[in-house]
């Protein structure tokens, strides 16, 4: 998966992950417009955040984006603990960011085991696995410090405190209420699964009593400022384990780099608006089809499938519903939203969370959509004759009209 921190910092990006984060925050501080009181100021700020905030960039500018685990909070706490005898105090300001960016090793010596854990955490925290999409952008601030009137409750963006308080109407449960004003646990469950946060619960059972705490002696109910080495160590280990597992979960429905490259080869044959490829052996190699459903400047939703045609009563197997992101006319990212295949009795469906449903089965463990899509791309691009010696190729134009085109092995196709 892409590391957008590298893209933001460019040549300033280095192996010093603390410095990277501080440089990023400095850039944000120095370019951020004032939020202000007017709608015009709000709009200007929102436009800036959508284009510059790492959270938003991972979600194509969506203002509901948020960092799952706060990097700065842990950097600050570890540095303050190690330098406690010096009385070091860090703040969310330019002075502190510059201090750590310029003298990282002085305050966070790389030979220190706690610092090594911090660096391992930061390596994961730059990646998509540390970013989530909230149901409401206002939940962003509430996950760190929840303030209503004179009452202030600190959660520090700690994951257990977030998960626990999703079920509390007085706190984050406010974003998941039903029509009667009570927390709708079905909505909570749906959001947790959508954001792939199940690893925060024992046995992935999504209920309040199953929330896994940050450390043995820390309650999941509230956030806690970490000042002891044992607490910091346990918290860092928790965060690293969580992000590793979430990274694997996110990749379960993300196409591999190889599969994305194969899809681009298919587009070279059928064009950017979908189409169809038929073979000389339709009983063995069914007709490949690609239909575009929705299109924006940077993404398309489409279905990719093989059809048995009249040889097999027009059975479709397999069938993939995908969202494809493009840069410079090339596919760069593919999210597999749903998979469908025929089992002889009906269609089995694997949803975006990897769970299989059908007339004779329902899986308890998630299936890897990533693997299923890779197998499909290999069948089309390497095993079958679709890209080497097809019987016929059809291309759609942007209006959806399909025309037969002449296939050439160099993948340059002309209309017949």
In a domain, 342, yes or no: yes
* Chosen domain end from 251, 278, 299: 251
In a domain, 178, yes or no: yes
If asked whether residues 262 and 171 sit together in one domain, one would say no
The three-state secondary structure class of 304 is strand
If asked whether residues 313 and 375 sit together in one domain, one would say yes
If asked whether residues 52 and 173 sit together in one domain, one would say no
Count: domains in the chain? 3
In a domain, 114, yes or no: no
- pTM for the structure as a whole: 0.83
Residue 391 in tokens: 């019987």
If asked whether residues 272 and 392 sit together in one domain, one would say yes
In degrees and rounded to multiples of 5, residue 80 shows phi and psi of -65, -35
If asked whether residues 181 and 70 sit together in one domain, one would say no
If asked whether residues 361 and 395 sit together in one domain, one would say yes
136 CB neighbour count, 10 Å cutoff: 11
pLDDT of amino acid 409: 67
pLDDT of amino acid 364: 59
pLDDT of amino acid 414: 47
Separation of CA 373 from chain center: 18
In a domain, 221, yes or no: yes
In a domain, 125, yes or no: no
If asked whether residues 228 and 306 sit together in one domain, one would say no
* Chosen domain end from 71, 92, 109: 109
Rounded to an integer, what distance in angstroms lies between the CA atom of residue 359 and that of residue 361?
Answer: 6
| Strand pairing class (275-278; 151-154) | unpaired
If asked whether residues 267 and 355 sit together in one domain, one would say yes
In a domain, 123, yes or no: no
pLDDT at 415 over 70: no
If asked whether residues 229 and 320 sit together in one domain, one would say no
If asked whether residues 31 and 78 sit together in one domain, one would say yes
pLDDT of amino acid 369: 92
- Mean pLDDT over the full length of the chain: 93
Tell me the per-residue pLDDT of 340-393, one tens digit each, with 9 for 90 and over: 998 888 899 998 878 888 876 666 567 889 999 999 999 999 999 999 999 999
If asked whether residues 272 and 407 sit together in one domain, one would say yes
In a domain, 117, yes or no: no
Q: Are 18 and 122 in contact (CB under 8 A)?
A: yes
* Chosen domain end from 206, 229, 251: 251
Structural domain boundaries enclosing 66 = 1-109
Mean pLDDT of 119-143: 97
If asked whether residues 101 and 142 sit together in one domain, one would say no
């Amino acid at each position: 998966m892409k590391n957008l921190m590298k893209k933001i910092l460019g040549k300033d990006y280095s192996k010093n992950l603390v410095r990277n984060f501080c440089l990023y925050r400095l850039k944000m501080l120095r370019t951020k417009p004032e939020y202000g009181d007017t709608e015009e100021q709000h709009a200007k700020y929102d436009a800036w955040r959508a284009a510059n905030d790492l959270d938003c960039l991972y979600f194509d500018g969506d203002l509901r984006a948020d960092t799952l685990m706060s990097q700065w909070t842990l950097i600050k706490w570890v540095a303050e603990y190690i330098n406690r005898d010096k009385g070091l105090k860090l703040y969310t300001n330019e002075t502190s960011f510059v201090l750590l960016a310029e003298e990282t090793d002085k305050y966070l010596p790389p030979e220190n085991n706690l610092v090594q854990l911090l660096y391992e955490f930061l390596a994961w925290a730059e990646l998509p696995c540390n970013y989530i999409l909230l149901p409401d952008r206002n939940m962003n601030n509430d996950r760190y410090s929840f303030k209503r009137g004179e009452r202030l409750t600190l959660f520090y963006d700690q994951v257990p405190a977030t998960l626990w308080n999703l079920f509390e109407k007085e706190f984050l449960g406010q974003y998941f209420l039903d029509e009667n004003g009570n927390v709708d646990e079905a909505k909570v469950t749906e959001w947790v699964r959508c954001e792939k946060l199940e690893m925060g619960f024992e046995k992935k059972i999504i209920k309040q009593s199953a929330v896994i705490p940050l450390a043995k002696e820390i309650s999941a109910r509230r956030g806690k400022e970490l000042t002891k080495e044992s607490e910091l160590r346990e918290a860092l280990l928790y965060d690293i384990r969580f992000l590793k597992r979430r990274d694997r979960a996110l990749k379960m429905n993300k196409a591999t780099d190889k599969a994305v490259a194969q899809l681009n080869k298919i587009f070279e044959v059928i064009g950017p608006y979908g189409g169809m490829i038929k073979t000389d052996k339709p009983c063995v190699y069914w007709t490949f089809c690609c239909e575009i459903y929705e299109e924006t400047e940077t993404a398309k939703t489409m279905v990719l499938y093989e059809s048995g045609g009249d040889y097999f009563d027009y059975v479709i197997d397999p069938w993939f519903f995908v969202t494809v992101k493009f840069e410079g006319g090339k596919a760069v990212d593919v999210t597999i939203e749903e998979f469908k295949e025929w089992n002889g009795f009906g269609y089995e469906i694997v949803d975006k969370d990897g769970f299989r449903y059908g007339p004779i089965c329902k899986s308890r463990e998630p299936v890897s959509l990533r693997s299923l899509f890779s197998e499909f791309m290999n069948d089309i691009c390497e095993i079958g004759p679709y890209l080497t010696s097809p019987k016929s190729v059809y291309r759609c134009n942007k209006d959806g009209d399909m025309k037969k085109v002449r296939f050439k092995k160099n993948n340059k196709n002309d209309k017949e």
